[in-house]
Homo-oligomer: A and B are copies of this chain.
Amino acid sequence: MRISELSERTGVSSASIKYYTREGLLPAGERTGYNSTAYDESHVARLRLIRALIDTGGLTVAAAGKVIAAIDDPDIVLDHVFGIAQQSVPRDATPPSAAAIEQVHAIMRERGWATVPQNPGIPLAAGVLDDLAMTRTDLSTVLPRYAEAIDMIAEADLDAVAASGDRDQMAEAVVVGIVLGDVLLAGLRRIAQESHTHRRYRGGVVPCQDHETDETTETKESS
């Protein structure tokens, strides 16, 4: 197909398609004449992956390029793809205290989790524990329950990766799962939190009008 059709099918402009090609995120199409290039289904799939990583996952073009390079390089073993994808998600973690890092290590020991010392989740989680220690909110009781639930989630993540096919598809599943999984979980958590709140404080009754008005206003103002 021509670039115009590729653009129409993916919703990505021709200029962006050319940009992603120059940056190495998208393989070049096949030159079919002086000024025309042919693209195929692999380009459609790749562009959709790029948009998902950037638009929903919040990755920069550079970070998306890096994880895509990891997908494409058959010499990169799967757990390195994991590491690269985990690092790609933008997070400004405050440097955590030694005490908070020890708290994370304690959870890891409790659950039998072993990682390289550089796993980005350690400072990320420890930074939150530092913040929590500063506030009046005590989440220490939720921590083991979070960890237990996360164990189920990680197990499901790995099953999905294993079921996804050959090495290339597994690598892609790792990237997609890590980047989009966080957002999916955040969405489900909002739904479950509200539902549990109604169950606990309103006998399961879902409020309507007043809440609706509030929420709509909030959305406009906070966006």
Contact = CB atoms under 8 A, between A and B. Distances in A.
Given A146-B156, A159-B141, A176-B132, A80 B192 contact: no
How many chain copies does the complex carry?
2
Contact of A198 (B79, B122, B198): B79
Interface of A: 45, 48-49, 51-52, 55-56, 58, 60, 62-63, 66, 78-80, 82-84, 86-94, 104, 107-108, 111-129, 131-132, 134-139, 141-142, 145-160, 162-165, 169, 172-173, 176-178, 180-198, 200-202, 204, 206-208, 211-212, 214-216, 218-219, 221-222
A139 B122 contact: no
A101 B90 CA distance: 27
A32 to B, nearest CB: 26
4 smallest CB-CB distances across A and B, nearest first, come from A121-B190, A125-B187, A124-B187, A154-B192
